[in-house]
Amino acid sequence: MERMPSSDETGTADAPRGRPTLRDVARRAGVSHMTVSRVLTRPATVAAATAARVRKAIASTGYRPDPAL
């Protein structure tokens, strides 16, 4: 069975997009996308230093949650 190329191999992982995504923030902060989600929805469940790193990544990427969600 032939292996499907990963998004890194196809170039889509770093393809230019309009708005920064939760995954972009996670990559910048060095955490999982679920950790970013927890910082946004349940900040008390995340270590203070990690939450600060995520908030800094949110600010530097210009991430804004989608208001439709």
- Asked if 21 and 63 count as a contact pair (C-beta separation under 8 A), the reply is yes
The torsion of the CA quartet 16, 17, 18, 24, rounded to 10 degrees, works out to -110
Which pLDDT value is given to residue 66? 83
Distances 5 to 1, 13, 33 between C-alpha atoms, Å: 13, 12, 22
Which pLDDT value is given to residue 2? 62
**pLDDT class of 68 with cuts at 50, 70, 90:** confident
Residues 2-27 have a mean pLDDT of: 68
Greater model confidence, 55 or 6:
55
Helix locations, 1-69, DSSP H: 7-10, 22-29, 33-41, 48-61
